Structure 1
C-alpha cells in the first residue's frame, strides 16, 4: 500500500488543531489526532523548528527518520512565540481552532499571553491539551519533567529489567507515548462534552500519572498486603508457564500457556498430558508456585525442536506462541502485510519511506497517513494567508523581522 497526500476522509476531518511545544509527548498527541483526519497546524520556531527534526538513532542523508513519523499529516508554520507579534498571530490562529496542544513547563503559556483564561475569552469552545511531566498543579508542577523521570516516578522503571541489575528502560519513549495517548483520550472526551454543552475545557495529562495508570494492582497490593512488585526479568511472578524458551537452532520463542485449558494443550504436545491433572500443576496457583520447575521441563523439550516446526505445532494445537520480533521480522511477516500494519509513503528526500500505519482500525471511518512530516514553514503562506488573510507583503515583513 502506498499513501500519497490524498483527500482527507478521517472522522476528525472537521477539527482544527494548533500544536505548540516540541519533542515527543505533545506532538505525539497531535500525530494521533492527525492520523484520524484533524487538520494539525504545528507552530515551530523560525530557523530551527522542533528538535525532533534532528533526533533519532539513525538518519538517512542527514534526515531524521523519526520526524516523518511524529509530524506526519501535519502542516508546519513558523511562529516566534517569544515575541509579542508571534503571540498575536498564535492567538488569531487559536481563535479559529477547536484544540490547542502544548507541552511547555506550566506558566509558560501564561507569560506569553496564551493562558487558557485569555484564550477561552476569544474561543469559548476551545479545548486546551496540556502535557507536562508533573501536571499543572501540585508542588512539582514547576519542575522540568522529561519522560524518563515520569517513568521512574510512575513505577515502570523500578519494575522493569532483571532482578540482579539496576532498573531498566524500554527501548522506546514509553512515558511520553502514554501521556500522549491519555491526552488524546481526554481530548476526545472533552470534544464529546463540548458537543453537549458548547463549552471547552483543559485536558491536563502528566507523564508520571500516565505511567502510574498502567501499573495494574501495584498500589493496593502494597497498601493491603505490604507486597512490593520487583523486577522479574522475562516473567511475571506466579504466572506460569509464560516465558522465552530455547530451540534447537538457537532461536528463542515465547510460549504463553498459563491458562488451565491452554496448559493442558501444551502438555499434550509435549507428550506429558499427565501434568495437566497433577495437583502440583493443575491450576494457576500451583503452576505459579512451581514456575522454575515448569520452565526447566519446557526448555528441555523446546531445545530439541526446530523453531519453525515447533511454532507450527503450537499454533495448530491452540497454544499462544511466537518469535521475539525485530524490525526485519515485521517487514516479512504475512500478517503484518495482510492487515496493512506498515504503510509506505513517497518521500521527496528519502524515497519510499515505510512506517507504522494508523491504529486502531475503524471499519467505517478509518484514519490515514496522508503525507510525511513537512518541511519547516512549508505552509506559512497557506495558513497565514488562508486563515488570517495576510498578503505576500505582510508575510515578507513578518519573515524579515523574524516573527515567522
Structure 2
C-alpha cells in the first residue's frame, strides 16, 4: 500500500534518522515508546500477530472497523504480520532483530526467552542491540512473574491512593497514565543507550522498565516525607497539599483551576478578588502561613468565583497575572486557537479513506522537529516489502504465507 504523505517534511535529517526499531509489544506501553521514537525519525517495524493484529486496533471507538486511537499510536510504523509462536516466525524475527538498533517489547518476563530470543541470544547475533523491556514489575524481583497492567502499576506506585476526594474511593486517571509513563521512561532509556553506544563506543544493553517504578518515579516528595516524618500523604481531591492556594473552584457554569501559591501571585490574586485584608496579612506572606489558613483562603476564592462565569474569572485573573484556567473537554481542546497555533492538532489522513484530527508531536525541536511521515498501517501492510528487503524471494514469501507464518 502507498503510504500517506506526511503533513510536512523537514529540510534537515530527522533526529533519529537511520535508527531501526523493532516493536514487538502490543496495546499501550511498548507501542507508545515506538510511536515516540518514530515521530523523531526512527524506522519502526511493528511485528503483529496475523489475523486481528494488535488488540489496540479494536479498543474504544471504531471508525470503518478500526480504532481511531490506533491512528495515533501506530503512525510512522510499518506492520509485519508474523506468527511468533512458530519456529519459522521466530527465526524471521531474529533475522530482523539482527539488523536493528533497538528492540522494544512489553510482554510478561520470560516470553522472549521462550521464543529463543533472550538478551544473551540476541546480543550474540547483534552485540550493539538495545533491548527495551517494559513489564508490570520488572525482569527481576519476587513479583516479576505476576501479571501487571498500567492500572496496577498506578496503584503500586502510590498514585491511585492520592487520586480521590478525602475519604472516598480512589479513582483512576482517565487515561492509561501508568503505561504512558513507562513508555516515556523507556524512550529516555533508549536515547541514553543510543548516545552511549555512539559517543562512547559502548555495547548494546538491556533497559528494564517496570510500570510501577515509572509511576513511583514521579511521586515527588511522597517517600522522603514518610522517611523523614512518618507522614503518609493522603488524597486531597483537587487541592495540592502543602501548597496554597492551589485548587479547583466553582463558577456559575463550571469549574476553574487557580494556582495562586507564589508569594507575589497570592497578593495579586487577593487584590483581584477584593480581599486585600488577606493579601496584606503578615502571616500569609509565605506558603507556610497560607497552608495554615488554607480553608479560609479557599473559601474566599470560592465565594468570589461562585458569583461569576468561568470566562469572567479567567479573564480577570489573567489581567491580574494569576495562573488560572478552565477544565478543558475534548471539544474545548478542538476549538482552542492556541492548540492549533502550536500545531498540536493535526489533520491526519488514514488508510481507510478518511481524515481525522490527532494530537501533534511533543517535544518541539527547533532543528529536527518530529513529523508524521506515514499513516497507521493495516495488519501486515509491509510484510512483503520488509521480507523482501531481508533478501527473501517472492517464492519464499509465498511459502511462508501458505503456512500461515506471515500475513
TM-score by length of 1: 0.96
**Hey, what's the Cα distance between the residues in 1 that align with 2:8 and 2:317?**
43
Structure 2 residue aligned with 1:16? 20
Q: What runs of 5+ residues in structure 2 fail to find an aligned partner?
A: none
1:255-274 map, 5 Å: 255-274=258-277
**Hey, what's the Cα distance between the residues in 2 that align with 1:329 and 1:322?**
12
Structure 2 residue corresponding to 1:215, chosen from 193, 216, 219: 219
Structure 1 residue aligned with 2:153? 150
* Shift, 1:61, TM fit: 3.3
Structure 2 residue corresponding to 1:37, chosen from 41, 49, 62: 41
SS of the residue 1:139 aligns to: coil
What RMSD, in angstroms, separates the aligned Cα atoms of the two structures?
1.5
| Cα deviation code 1:40-98 (max 9, x no counterpart) | 00001111211111112x22233211111111110000111111101110111111100
Structure 2 residue aligned with 1:133? 136
Structure 2 residue corresponding to 1:313, chosen from 293, 300, 316: 316
Q: What runs of 5+ residues in structure 1 fail to find an aligned partner?
A: none
SS of the residue 2:96 aligns to: helix
| Cα deviation code 1:108-134 (max 9, x no counterpart) | 111111111111111111000000001
**Hey, what's the Cα distance between the residues in 2 that align with 1:309 and 1:105?**
51
Please say if residues 351 and 377 of structure 2, whose CA atoms lie closer than 8 Å, have aligned partners that are also in contact. no
Structure 2 residue corresponding to 1:49, chosen from 48, 53, 59: 53
| Cα deviation code 1:164-215 (max 9, x no counterpart) | 2111110000111011000000000001111112411001011010011011
Structure 2 residue corresponding to 1:391, chosen from 385, 393, 400: 393
* Shift, 1:238, TM fit: 2.5
Please say if residues 7 and 348 of structure 2, whose CA atoms lie closer than 8 Å, have aligned partners that are also in contact. no
**Hey, what's the Cα distance between the residues in 1 that align with 2:116 and 2:299?**
64
Structure 1 residue corresponding to 2:284, chosen from 275, 281, 284: 281
SS of the residue 1:66 aligns to: helix
Please say if residues 83 and 403 of structure 1, whose CA atoms lie closer than 8 Å, have aligned partners that are also in contact. yes
1:4-403 map, 5 Å: 4=6, 9-56=13-60, 58-195=61-198, 196-248=200-252, 250-349=253-352, 351-386=354-389, 388-403=390-405
Please say if residues 24 and 177 of structure 1, whose CA atoms lie closer than 8 Å, have aligned partners that are also in contact. yes
SS of the residue 1:42 aligns to: strand
* Shift, 1:259, TM fit: 0.9
TM-score by length of 2: 0.95
**Hey, what's the Cα distance between the residues in 1 that align with 2:83 and 2:351?**
27
**Hey, what's the Cα distance between the residues in 1 that align with 2:314 and 2:228?**
41
**Hey, what's the Cα distance between the residues in 1 that align with 2:117 and 2:229?**
47
